[in-house]
């Protein structure tokens, strides 16, 4: 792990889980896998706190454990998984576009909690949705369940590995830590639950109705007594599936930009057909016949078979080579060259960076060298075969993989800088922020108890105009920094996908 990655992980862990979890997490990332006592000793933290931190990390799929020989349990951190925390908003927003608010909240709850049972998710999401609905309306558990099942069917959520059912004939003491397993075919199997109920609104006026003070209001009385029907079956978000979706999105939009809407729709159809059949790390999809594609086009897309064939030929002939022709049966067999597509996307990113950083001329040279593979500075022919410095000529080339790695490293550094700057800005204005929060709270409470306009005005004026200006500037800056983080993460995704695809190919 590079220093930049470790630094970024440290910032992310600290922001989301606090300093103790950060200390343990970063230590594990740096040192590799270690047993519990060694972690406690090396970090100088109490055993109790290390256990708590590990619990949080394991719950969120950031640390895994393994039983080694002699019964020692070792914990290992997954640095790349920690970096995925940057992408949480994208995962949640994508689900919103595909499965609307219900789906969005399901994924959000799963990401916030790491692992959850289906019943817990359904209940929580139903409650949250009910809060946003008009008075008197509630969200039914069945509707949330349906969306959950759809997410599982399309593999966006998956089951967590479980403790295997042991036969009792196993002699000897149980192992110090269970080895969790999951069957491929069970991963998306939804348990048969009959979740009946509706979301509950959290009533702030409950105390008045019941005549009891808030502190004494019993918390979740009925829930604790009911047995959880799907206890032990935990679900998590399947990040790889989302990555596959992002990759498909990127390819489709690239085709749309380069050619036209219809071509991109054809490519989208082909990708959709390959979703379940092709593993996400394959260099190209399974071959699809033109007939099949024609049948699978979205309903209402009225292009004739000949037009489709023409488009497919055009796509296959395009120098970008996103689509390739692999045979002639069935009207023509076509594949999507996933690896080539990712390479093109990564290369385009590099070109764009060169252009924006060094100008159009440099960009032109860069593109030229990329195209010709090897170029010489001045077009001279060598005269002698020996390697004398004055007569050897040097060729320029672009090593795309190397450049992509370097740019990726820079991206990690950039995000770390963005986060640090954002934290600095917030800290600088901490007093002002707290003051403004207090004032807002006071205004809200006064409005709730029915205060006059004049009094509200008076409270609002406690924040002076220059202070308001300062707050505005702060908000604008923080928004910009946050938005930048999100967009740099998009570049990280493209580059990482390309690098991964290239490494798998070799």
Partner 1 sequence: MAGNKGRGRAAYTFNIEAVGFSRGEKLPDVVLKPPPLFPDTDYKPVPLKTGEGEDYMLALKQELRETMKRMPYFIETPEEKQADPKSKKAKDTDKGTSLANTADVLKKIEELEKRGDGEKSDEENEEKEGSKEKSKEGDDDDEDDAAEQEEYDEEEQEEENDYINSYFEDGDDFGAESDDNMDEATY
3-state secondary structure of 327: strand
Strand intervals (E) in 98-141: 116-117
Contact 328, 310 (CB under 8 A): no
340 vs 421, beta carbon nearer partner 1: 421
CA 127 to chain centre: 25
| Least Å from the CB of residue 79 to partner 1 | 19
Residues interacting with partner 1, by CB under 8 A?
Answer: 15-21, 49, 52-53, 55-56, 59-60, 88-90, 92-93, 96-97, 108-109, 112-114, 116, 120, 123-124, 128, 131, 202, 204, 219-220, 223-224, 356-359, 389-390, 434, 437-438, 441-442, 444-445, 448, 459, 462, 464, 478-480, 482-487
56 vs 266, beta carbon nearer partner 1: 56
90 vs 405, beta carbon nearer partner 1: 90
CA 303 to chain centre: 36
274 vs 491, beta carbon nearer partner 1: 491
| Least Å from the CB of residue 328 to partner 1 | 41
Q: Which two tokens stand for residue 140?
A: 């039914």
Contact 81, 28 (CB under 8 A): no
DSSP structural state of residue 217: S
| Least Å from the CB of residue 412 to partner 1 | 18
107 vs 270, beta carbon nearer partner 1: 107
Calculate the alpha carbon distances from 452 to 290, 320, 443, 447 in Å.
Answer: 72, 67, 11, 8
| Least Å from the CB of residue 52 to partner 1 | 6
Give dist(CA 230, CA 192) in Å, integer. 9
Give dist(CA 406, CA 422) in Å, integer. 24
| Least Å from the CB of residue 46 to partner 1 | 10
Contact 181, 162 (CB under 8 A): yes
Give dist(CA 472, CA 298) in Å, integer. 47
| Least Å from the CB of residue 390 to partner 1 | 5
Report the run of H or E that residue 331 belongs to, with start and end.
Answer: none
329 vs 487, beta carbon nearer partner 1: 487
194 vs 205, beta carbon nearer partner 1: 205
| Least Å from the CB of residue 420 to partner 1 | 14
Give dist(CA 290, CA 314) in Å, integer. 13
Give dist(CA 165, CA 183) in Å, integer. 12
| Least Å from the CB of residue 169 to partner 1 | 32
Q: Supply angle C-alpha 345, 351, 357, rounded to 5.
A: 135
153 vs 458, beta carbon nearer partner 1: 458
């Amino acid at each position: 792990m590079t220093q930049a990655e470790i630094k970024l992980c440290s910032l992310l862990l600290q922001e989301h889980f606090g300093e103790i979890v950060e200390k343990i997490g970063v230590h594990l990332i740096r040192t590799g896998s270690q047993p519990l006592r060694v972690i406690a000793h090396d970090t100088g933290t109490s055993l109790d706190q290390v256990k708590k931190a590990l619990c949080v990390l394991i719950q969120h799929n950031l640390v895994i454990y393994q039983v080694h020989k002699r019964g020692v349990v070792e914990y290992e951190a997954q640095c790349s998984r920690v970096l995925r925390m940057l992408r949480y908003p994208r995962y949640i927003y994508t689900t919103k576009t595909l499965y609307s608010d219900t789906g969005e909240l399901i994924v959000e709850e799963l990401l916030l909690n790491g692992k959850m049972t289906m019943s817990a998710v359904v209940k929580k999401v139903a409650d949250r949705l009910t809060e946003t609905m008009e008075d008197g309306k509630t969200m039914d558990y069945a509707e949330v369940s349906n969306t959950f099942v759809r997410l599982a069917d399309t593999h966006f959520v998956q089951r967590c590995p479980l403790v295997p059912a042991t036969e009792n004939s196993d002699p000897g003491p149980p192992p110090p830590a269970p080895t969790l397993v999951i069957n491929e075919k069970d991963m998306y199997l939804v348990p048969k639950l009959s979740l009946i109920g509706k979301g509950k609104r959290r009533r702030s006026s409950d105390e008045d109705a019941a005549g009891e003070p808030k502190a004494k209001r019993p918390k979740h009385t009925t829930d604790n007594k009911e047995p959880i029907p799907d206890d032990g079956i935990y679900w998590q978000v399947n990040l790889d599936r989302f990555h596959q979706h992002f990759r498909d999105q990127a390819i489709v939009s690239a085709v749309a930009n380069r050619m036209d809407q219809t071509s991109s729709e054809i490519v989208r159809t082909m990708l959709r057909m390959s979703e379940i059949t092709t593993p996400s790390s394959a260099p190209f999809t399974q071959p699809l016949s033109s007939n099949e594609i024609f049948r699978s086009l979205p309903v209402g897309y009225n292009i004739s078979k000949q037009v489709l064939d023409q488009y497919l030929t055009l796509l296959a002939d395009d120098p970008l080579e996103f689509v390739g022709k692999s045979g002639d049966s069935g009207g023509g067999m076509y594949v999507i060259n996933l690896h080539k597509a990712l390479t093109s996307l990564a290369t385009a990113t590099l070109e764009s960076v060169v252009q924006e950083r060094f100008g159009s001329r440099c960009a032109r040279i860069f593109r030229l060298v990329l195209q010709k593979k090897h170029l010489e500075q001045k077009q001279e022919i060598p005269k002698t075969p020996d390697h004398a410095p004055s007569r050897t000529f040097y060729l320029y080339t672009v090593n795309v993989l190397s450049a992509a790695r370097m740019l990726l490293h820079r991206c990690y550094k950039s995000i770390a800088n963005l986060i640090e700057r954002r934290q600095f800005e917030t800290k600088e204005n901490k007093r002002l922020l707290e003051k403004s929060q207090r004032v807002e709270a006071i205004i809200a409470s006064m409005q709730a108890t029915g205060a006059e306009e004049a009094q509200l005005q008076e409270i609002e004026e406690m924040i002076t105009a220059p202070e308001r200006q300062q707050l505005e500037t702060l908000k604008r800056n923080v928004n910009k920094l946050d938005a930048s983080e999100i967009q740099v993460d998009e570049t990280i995704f493209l580059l990482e996908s390309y690098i991964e695809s290239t490494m798998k190919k070799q």
